[in-house]
Amino acid sequence: MTITTQERRRVTTLHGSARALAALLLCAVLGGFYTGRGDETSAAETYVPNIVTGDIQAGIEKHIADQIALGDGYFTVPFEGEDLKLKLVRVHVEYLASLAPQRHFACVDMASADGQFYDVDFFLEGDPGEMVVTQTTVHKLNGVPYYAWEQNEDQHWMRVPIDKASQEVLGVLTGQDAFEFRYQATLPTITGKARCWIPLARSDDFQTVTVKSISAPSDPQTLSDSVHDNKVLFLELGPEQSGKMIEIIYDVLRREKGAYAGDPAEAAVYLGPDRLIPLDERIKAAAETAVEGLEDDLMRARALYDLVIDQMRYIKIGAGWGQGDAVYACDARTGNCTDYHSYFIALARSVEIPARFAIGVAIPSERDDGGTDGYHCWAEFYAEGKWWPVDISEGDKFGALSMYYFGHHPANRFEFTRGRDLVLDPGPASGPINFLAYPFLEVDGEPQKMKTLFVFRRKG
């Protein structure tokens, strides 16, 4: 399979980026596998006519709208013996392609009422304004492909079924995960009066947490954050505790998280600003531009998710990153998970979509024990009566999983706390805690760092 220099120039002009070029090169390969005669065709038949992708987008959007109008407000797709009732989330503009004269390809993301996400492939025939869908196929469920395309010995492209992608490919564990988790923090040299706040993970609908033991050099208290329902371990310390370790050992059963029902009154709390997630006019303008013409909050949230991926780069360098500062992320367009998700939350709130922050740890999927790579955070937004989980930094780092991470958090996660600007009594002299994953230590009213280590051992 080859693509000509002229075709390559056309792709670059249309999309203007290496990522889009790679995507449409894939679609040029797709041009070699569909003829309308089944699952097999010669790679030599590829031909790209002079037609703009906007025509294909208009054709597939019209087809979906017409089918929804004929039904009960959903797009119906027969799949594995049942009719899926789906809503359009977005058209993959980067994958639209003309395969030959009057033959086209489109790929869309669609969501079911129970929060599952489907990647659906369409083949169309016809001229602009008169395109007819000839084949509709569910390609992926929550980012996991049902089939792949491979070239056989005769240089024909064949559709090969896939039951599910391997864990190594996904980088996530689905279903559930069970592990012992050790939260270890070592006190530095203490020269005066010290106080320490440490997250105390709790159970919810997606994780069952048992505290096996707490080892500390002084008697701890358990504090409550009433706004976000967090639990926090509080210790008062002195110079005699210098160098001592604090350890919490948990048993955790964690379940993969998808969309789940939420209370609209509770969701409304997450429309207001946080100290580092303000209601900023520049962020609002960016959000309004991204969602222009979109009425459904699920589609609007996906547009904001894509905006963050398009604008941000996972780069931890210089000053300012890692604080979850939405304005910093908007300006620098780099940072870690806290910056990605703070920017998304600010964008969502600015267009009246409630969104909230959570932090904990990602448990490695490729091994069963050892340390973890520090903390990890994620977010949720509220639409259609449900909270929808997102992990935008992981979706950006692993493009093949970007669909999965819009609407899911894998089972190999452990959540410590939720929310920002945590108000505790007693609380730090500096005021509410920005977010709480690592210990917050204060010596004579001044913040100090602690050496922290997370260790896990998977069960079964």
The angle subtended at Cα 136 by Cα 290 and Cα 33, nearest 5°, is 100
Rounded Cα distance, 188 and 402, in Å: 40
Model pLDDT, residue 29: 38
Of 27-36, 101-110, 112-121, 329-338, where does mean pLDDT reach its minimum? 27-36
Mean pLDDT, rounded, for 420-427: 97
What number of CA atoms fall less than 13 Å from residue 320's CA on the CB side?
Answer: 15
Give the mean model confidence (pLDDT) for residues 341-368: 95
- Contact by Cβ (8 Å): 415, 207: yes
The pLDDT of 283-312, averaged and rounded, is 97
| pLDDT over 60 at 44, yes or no | no
Is residue 79 within 8 A of residue 88, CB to CB? The reply is no
Distance from C-alpha of 266 to C-alpha of 383, rounded to nearest angstrom:
13
Please compute, for residue 136, the number of CA atoms within 13 A of its CA located in the half-sphere on the CB side: 17
Does pLDDT of 384 surpass 70?
yes
Segment 57-87, tens digit of pLDDT: 999 999 999 999 987 899 999 999 999 999 9
User: Predicted confidence band at 143 (pLDDT cuts at 50, 70, 90)?
Assistant: low
pLDDT cut 70: percent of the chain above it: 83
Range with the poorest average pLDDT among 173-187, 399-413, 432-446: 399-413
Distance CA 391, CA 417 (A): 16
pLDDT band at 249; cut points 50, 70, 90: very high
Quickly state the pLDDT bin for 333 (edges 50, 70, 90).
very high
Asked if residue 145 has a cis previous peptide bond (ω within 30° of 0), the answer is no
Considering only CA atoms, which of 436, 375, 361 is closest in space to residue 196? Answer: 436
**pLDDT at residue 13 tops 50:** no
Asked whether residue 381 carries a pLDDT value surpassing 70, the answer given is: yes
Q: What's the pLDDT band for 42 if we cut at 50, 70, 90?
A: very low
Quick one: tokens of 324? Answer: 């979850």
Report, as an integer, the average pLDDT of 296-323: 94
Q: What is the pLDDT of residue 101?
A: 84
Q: What is the mean pLDDT of the chain?
A: 85
Task: Give the chain's domains with CATH numbers.
Answer: 5-165 (no CATH), 173-460 (3.10.620.30)
Residues 6+ apart with CB under 8 A from 25: 3, 11
Neighbouring C-alpha atoms within 13 Å toward the C-beta of 81: 0
- The answer to whether 436 and 225 are in contact (CB under 8 A) is no
Q: pTM (2 decimals)?
A: 0.77
Of the chain, the end-to-end C-alpha distance in Å amounts to 46
